[in-house]
Structure 1
Amino acid sequence: MKRIFLIGYMGSGKTTLGKAFARAMQLQFIDLDWYIEERFHKTVQELFAERGENGFREIERNMLHEVGDFEDVLIAAGGGTPCFFDNMDYMNSVGDTVFLDVNPEVLFRRLKIAKAKRPLLADKTDDELMNVITSALQKRMDFYRQAKYTFNAERLESYEQIGESVKKLKLLLDK
């Protein structure tokens, strides 16, 4: 029975690496945000708008506990998930947690490309985007650092790099 939680800021590679690693290890892959959207038939943005951040975070915690009961699963948590309630303690108690550590410049490059798909970032200038990233990382780092493992996820730009990262992550978790 295996439970792995990937945590980190948006753009850190939780979905990219998570899908590839889950496939290689024959684990079910769950993106927590997608799971919430499927269960509530609404986007995360719609849930935020309707219920506010506190209401969304309650849903997120409940769904985290639900998927945290699954076996042989890799869960890509939302970027803010570890920072609320006892979510970090919970994930550490039921599985292995891996912080995908990526420097702000790499996050900036990835998120600049994906801005159109991320409503919270769509209207940001380059300077504003970098400020959002560095400010959020500063606030969240104490939570991210509570993960059992830290993994450098800066090399996920090609299938080859993703494959190498899958192998390195397997070695890290097999220790």
Structure 2
Amino acid sequence: MVEKYLVVLVVITTLILCNNNVCATDVIVGDDAAWKVPDSPTFYSSWASKHTFIVGDTLVFNFMNGSHTVALVNKDAYETCNTSNVISVKTQSPVRVPLQKIGQLHFMCTIDGHCSSGLKLAINITNESPMSSSPPAPSSAPSASNHLTPFATLIASSSLAFFLLLVGFYC
């Protein structure tokens, strides 16, 4: 009987951790195709539309060294494939980019002709996974829960789960 409750506690704790973005993942850009000039210029935009990028995840660009680069650029440079004003450029694979804040990031290859052939990526980073998203409740004043850190939320949620487990055990 105790084992049953222990399993439930582990499952609940895992769900709470993942819901609070503690379960960050490595996202391999292009999946098996990796970072290379695609057959279709829309390949990476299509690929990105099928993924959810969350604060805490890490983008991983895999490519053959010497054949490609990964440049972080602004939106205008991304749209025009302008390589003259990049924010940063990496030349050694794998390139790991931690996603640290909500917003958009734009990447491209700086090798001549590669960006215009579709070797570029734009992503939107959110703070929630698709499973944890829910419409916000209307509120005229900020609530205390808006100011809790993920760790504080984890502790509060875990305490509730542990309390429910104890109530279930003794009842």
Q: Which has the larger radius of gyration?
A: 2
Q: What's the TM-score, normalizing by structure 2?
A: 0.23
Higher relative contact order (CA 8 A, sep 6+): 1
- Which structure has greater strand proportion? 2
